[in-house]
């Protein structure tokens, strides 16, 4: 990804027109490659022009097919496991409905609903008559696994919803893919009730700057897939031209916009009253509903059920609810073990205390996921490895967080496993950061900083020296930008390490890295997978 500097105004592309506002005042701004954010300038096949009037970004390469018609099961497993960000999906609907308070008899349609999580949430948790449209193959999977009302034919092109109007039409991270966004928005406008609202979310063009975190900026550009990134001004202009007379366009966070569009002022007043609050509360509500549903009360939790449990587990850990997190691991363990180790050939020595055993075993099973994905990615150059459980690698990180919360002091074998796990996780995360499809792995990349901070804390607890040279990347500018909180924690740990080193008398040997426990199960995992 490379930003283009200009001398004067001689590079304007007057033959092209901005898809947002129609202006021809466009300037080449940034180029990027589908081969990864670190691709060389000459390998960047996609050029984004910035509109100097509305500040939107346009990409004009030959149009491809946005929707994948075929069912790509390996990608769908990866999407279900880790890519689908439920907080981002559910918060716009949850916050708006909280402001409106009543959904009785109301109708809801999501365009480009993907697997159908939002459709399922709207029906099960919010009481809507909810439906979705998704031409891609994973819409069929969502209909099958969630039981959601999902159809494949596009609105306005023969859909059985063509003669209907809705109280809410939701379109999340879709409009930026469409070469004719005004036509798309106009279709939405025709299918909204007089007191209804259309809600759009889309990347924010004004986030794309040289100063922004590179991985997030590259993900927002999504070269090869995104045709336009709107500014708030550009999105407002487009929606007005599409027939919406009342608008509210907000910045959800620095990299994303949310727009509420209607033909009457009432829905916009509700949108203005909607409080974003804590997005995880909506996700927690949905996951708890799923956890206790008939789908998850079967003898074996499904792959989808495990992924949903993982998201709830992560929420518990982030809130410091260690006991609830461990209870969830106990629910997951039998089915997770069957998915990760079908031959049941992995065993862990019995530890004193059930909590020690469950945390240690689940950490080591997550180690299998991490190592399997790492080997598949690095040796076979797969952007989303088939045959591995993608959430396993990050769940292991959150398990190490629980270990910090629960044990004081930790059992030595658990410290040994946690150190090995985090070192492997950090090495893989650094490789992912420079990989071809870093945007598929943003969660793991975002945890590099917290993982280093956690690792250093484990090393201090083990009485081991921290090798600053091995982790010298923590002093690089990108690390400070991407991980400011972790950077401060790491400096605290390094200061403690330095003071310990200074206190060591010359006659005493320097502390070494902790010696591996002879029966450490994580090392046996490594040996087994590397054979």
Q: What is the pLDDT of residue 408?
A: 73
Q: Do residues 198 and 171 touch, judged by C-beta distance below 8 A? A: yes
Q: What is the pLDDT of residue 53?
A: 95
The CB density around residue 502, as the number of other CB atoms within 10 Å, is 7
Give the pLDDT confidence score for residue 520 in this predicted structure: 56
Instruction: Kindly tell me the sign of the dihedral angle through the C-alpha atoms of 14, 15, 17, 23.
Output: positive
CATH topology of domain 73-281: Rossmann fold (3.40.50)
Cβ atoms of residues 421 and 400 within 8 Å: yes
Sign, CA torsion 48/51/54/58 = negative
How far apart are the C-alpha atoms of 312 and 298, rounded to whole Å?
18
Q: Residue 3: in which H helix or E strand, if any?
A: strand 2-3
> Model-level pTM?
0.81
Per-residue HEC secondary structure of 362-385 comes to HHHHHHHHHHHHHHHHHHHCCCCC
What strands lie across the sheet with 46-51, from one edge to the other?
2-3, 26-32, 46-51, 57-59, 228-229
Name beta bridge partners: 57: 50, 229
Q: Give the residues of the chain that fall short of pLDDT 70.
A: 6-14, 63-73, 275-278, 293-300, 343-353, 386-387, 410, 436, 439, 505-531
**Where are the strands (E) in 218-346, listed by range?**
228-229, 246-253, 256-262
Which uninterrupted H or E stretch holds 46?
Answer: strand 46-51
* CB-based contact 441:432 (threshold 8 Å): yes
Radius of gyration of the chain (CA): 25
Note whether 132 and 119 are within 8 A (CB). yes
Pairing of strands 166-172, 192-203: parallel
Residues 6 and 15: their CA atoms lie apart, in Å, by 18
Q: How far apart are CA 252 and CA 30, in angstroms?
A: 23
Domain segments of the chain: what residues?
Answer: 2-59, 73-281, 295-529
Residue 66, pLDDT score: 54
pLDDT in tens, 132-148: 999 888 888 888 888 89
Q: Collect all residues with Cβ–Cβ distance below 8 Å to 489 and sequence separation of at least 6.
A: 453, 456
Q: How far is CA 484 from CA 169, 186, 251, in A?
A: 38, 43, 22
Q: What angle do CA 329, 332, 336 make, to 5 degrees?
A: 120
């Amino acid at each position: 990804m490379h930003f283009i500097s200009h001398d004067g105004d001689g590079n304007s592309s007057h033959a092209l027109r901005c898809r947002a506002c129609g202006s021809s005042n466009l300037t080449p701004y940034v180029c990027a490659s589908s081969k990864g954010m670190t691709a060389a300038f000459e390998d960047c096949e996609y050029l984004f022009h910035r509109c100097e009037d509305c500040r939107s970004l346009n990409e004009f390469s030959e149009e491809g097919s946005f929707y994948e018609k075929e069912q790509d099961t390996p990608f769908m497993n990866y999407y279900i496991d880790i890519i689908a960000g439920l907080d981002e999906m559910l918060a716009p609907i949850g916050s708006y409905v909280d402001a409106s308070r009543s959904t009785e008899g109301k109708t809801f349609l999501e365009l480009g609903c993907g697997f159908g999580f939002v459709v399922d949430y709207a029906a099960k948790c919010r009481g809507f008559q909810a439906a979705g449209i998704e031409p891609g193959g994973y819409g069929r999977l969502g209909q099958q696994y969630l039981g959601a009302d999902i159809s494949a034919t596009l609105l306005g092109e023969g859909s059985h919803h063509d003669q209907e109007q809705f109280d809410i039409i939701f379109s999340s991270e879709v409009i930026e893919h469409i070469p004719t966004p005004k036509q798309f928005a106009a279709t939405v406008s025709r299918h909204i009730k007089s007191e209804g609202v259309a809600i759009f979310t889309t990347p924010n063009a004004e986030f794309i700057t040289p100063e922004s975190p590179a991985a997030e900026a590259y993900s927002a550009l999504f070269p090869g897939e995104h045709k336009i990134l709107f500014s708030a001004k550009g999105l407002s202009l487009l929606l007005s031209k599409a027939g919406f007379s009342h608008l509210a366009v907000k910045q959800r966070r620095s990299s994303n916009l949310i727009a509420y569009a209607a033909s009457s002022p009432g829905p916009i007043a509700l949108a203005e009253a909607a409080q974003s609050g804590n997005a995880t509360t909506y996700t927690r509500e949905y996951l708890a509903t799923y956890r206790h549903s008939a789908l998850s009360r079967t003898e074996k939790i499904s792959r989808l059920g495990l992924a949903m449990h993982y998201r709830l587990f992560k929420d518990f850990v982030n809130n410091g609810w260690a006991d609830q997190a461990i209870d969830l691991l106990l629910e997951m363990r039998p089915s997770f073990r069957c998915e990760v180790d079908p031959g049941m050939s992995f065993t862990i020595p019995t530890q004193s205390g059930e909590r020690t055993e469950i945390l240690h075993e689940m950490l080591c099973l997550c180690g299998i996921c991490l190592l399997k994905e790492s080997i598949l990615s690095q040796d076979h150059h797969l952007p989303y490895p088939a045959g591995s459980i993608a959430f396993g690698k990050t769940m292991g990180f959150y398990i190490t967080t629980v270990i910090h919360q629960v044990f004081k002091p930790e059992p030595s074998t658990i410290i040994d496993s946690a150190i090995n796990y985090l070192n492997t996780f950090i090495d893989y995360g650094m490789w992912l950061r420079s990989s071809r499809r870093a945007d598929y792995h943003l969660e793991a990349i975002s945890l590099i900083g917290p993982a280093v901070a956690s690792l250093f804390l484990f090393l201090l607890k083990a009485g081991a020296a921290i090798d600053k040279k091995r982790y010298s990347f923590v002093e690089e500018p990108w690390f400070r930008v991407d991980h400011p909180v972790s950077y401060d924690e790491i400096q605290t740990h390094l200061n403690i390490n330095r003071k310990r080193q200074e206190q060591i008398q010359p006659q005493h040997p320097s502390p070494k890295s902790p010696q591996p426990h002879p029966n450490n199960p994580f090392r046996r995992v490594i040996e087994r997978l590397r054979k």
